[in-house]
Amino acid sequence: MKGYMGKILFVDLTSRTHWERDLPDSMPGALIGGKGFGIKLLYDLLPPGTDPLDPANPLVFVSGPLTGTSAPSMRGCLVSKAPLNGMFDDSYFGGHFIQEVKYAGYDAIVVIGKAYSPVYLVISDDRVEFRDAAHLWGLDTYETCNSVKAGLGDAMFRVCCIGPAGENLVKFALVDFEPHRQAGRGGLGAVFGSKNLKAVAVRGDKGIEVAYPESFTEVVSQAHKELADSGDTQEFAKCSSVSLLPFSNEFGFLPVRNFQDGSTAQAESMNAAAHESRVWMRHWACAGCPIHCGKMGMIKRGPYAGAICDNVEYESVGLIGGNLAVNSVEAMAFINQTCDKLGLDTISTGGVVGFAIEAYERGLIDEASIGGLPLSFGDHKSILELIHQIAHREGLGDLLADGVVKAAEGLGNGTSGFACAIQGLETPAWGPRGSAGMGLAYITGDRGGCHQRGFPIGYETSGSWPKGEMADGWRLDGKGELVSWEQNLLAALYSLTICEFGRSGISYDTYRSMLAAATGLSLSEEEFLLVGERIWNLIRLFNLREGWTQDQAGVPQRFKEALPSGVMKGHAFSDEDIAALLEQYNAARGWDDSGRPTSRTLGRLRVDELMEPLFEGK
């Protein structure tokens, strides 16, 4: 099928061997690519119950059928079993790396095993090399990328790598793709580290054929026009996702001081105008994207003056700025860059540091355990020191490096009540109080409590969704149908490996038209949603196989306490609310009361056909 390269590359770090497999004919029609291909490969290749840091846990780099073409705003997908919570994890990244994977001739690269000593991989078309990485071990992500490229003598290689956090198996370590783009959530950098894999460099010279070139050119032009005409997309182009801050603060969704509140009077000091006037200098874009949401800049004043940095996205502004009460955009930008260099997910980092500060203020952590560090909200110097401790697993950082849930278990004394994680994943910068739909999306998310697997807040605050009117934020009715519908839609779109900023402007019909013109795979709206539903059910089966139960689908005590500010002031979750929402959701999905897909649902979606293994090693 056109649009695909038709090959999957397998690399075994233990035996230092590699081989290729043809892409099975059944996969494009059933799963499209991206998220869909990722779960099928992981389901087949991972022995049930395997620890995420075991050599048998595969790392899967996977593209979509539009990746590497002229279709705008396409990303890559990295899939594995998450060290942070033991669930399925698909983490998306921009830049240029995944396009180069396709140019090298592959729809996916699967890495298994563990090298006996640190290595990095060099993939150039059909040539695979295992190179010593002893000289790279200990370097940050920026230094590693630059060193690998210099050693290869070819700047056209695209590089992904880990920093010290991944080497030290921090369970929310990220993978950096050419500095400034990351696969952040779930801890896949620790999977790299567990395999002694420091970096991967890819270079390719193959072209991608599409099924109907003239039609494809026309529909890609339509996609560009839709992006240009979209007010939301233009706002992202101008201000990146920081533009969402005023909305979040107004409605009480912004995390403030470890989610003790949902809005702050300091929001104006953290908004896009502050970043633009004091840090940003120019725009930049990922491969083939007209949005240019990246903002390169330099810190011009204060103790971090002279540091060159990227923009701080809304999630990082929320978890570093609001959640840690760091109101200086300069300090915020420097902390964000420090996390990127060390290889730490900023969402989880902001969550565990906020938890540690609150525990310290409550007298549950003494200064001796943190090397005399006087922790406090807003103190960017002590926050930076603690972040370094986490990345290197030193002092208190060693406890925090396993995530906020494990940290609360270690500290005890009721700290689990303010350990803000849902399904083992630190809560993003959209506090769920005031949004029943958002809470439901978090407790049913396929990789844990994630805002990118369903974002009903937009529908709840606008009062409508594509199927009609929508109940307001705190009313429970209709939320099961809404959340399951959006999860199916996003799963289908992630099979294309779209970017959320592109989704804000490009219509779903245009995405399907680009898919049809590129591959010949013409899907109706209903068929497209069925692909997403099929993927979602397959992931639920994987998570159940790996030990997930519906008992994990709850919220911490913090979100059962009334929201103290914002237009949703006074709202909170109760156990009864959660039970009612799950009952709605399971019914909408055709699952039983324990959240397990029924045989009737699996038959309707032809998931049972996908259970036959297609990948079993060499």
Q: How many CB atoms lie within 10 A of CB 566?
A: 22
**Would you say the C-alpha torsion 353, 389, 379, 328 has a positive or negative sign?**
negative
- List the chain residues with pLDDT less than 70: 616-618
So what's the pLDDT on residue 616?
A: 67
* Backbone phi, psi, residue 114, to 5°: -145, 130
So what's the pLDDT on residue 509?
A: 95
- Answer whether 237's CB lies under 8 Å from 291's CB: yes
Lateral strand order in the sheet of 175-177:
127-132, 119-124, 197-203, 158-161, 175-177, 182-183
- The DSSP code sequence of 365-433 is S-GGGGTT----TT-HHHHHHHHHHHHTT-THHHHHTT-HHHHHHHH-TTGGGG--EETTEE--SS--T
So what's the pLDDT on residue 36?
A: 96
So what's the pLDDT on residue 618?
A: 53
So what's the pLDDT on residue 617?
A: 56
Return the ∠ at Cα 63 (arms to 62 and 67), rounded to 5°.
165
- Answer whether 80's CB lies under 8 Å from 58's CB: yes
89: Cα separation from own chain's centroid: 8
The CA distance from 282 to 278, in Å, is 12
**Would you say the C-alpha torsion 188, 192, 193, 194 has a positive or negative sign?**
positive
pTM for this entry: 0.95
So what's the pLDDT on residue 560?
A: 96
Domains and CATH numbers, the chain: 7-203 (3.60.9.10), 236-408 (1.10.569.10), 426-610 (1.10.599.10)
Listed in sequence order, the residues at least 6 apart from 202 whose beta carbon sits closer than 8 Å to its beta carbon are 97, 100, 101, 104, 109, 123, 124, 157, 158, 159
So what's the pLDDT on residue 501?
A: 78
Only one residue has tokens 């490229």, namely 149
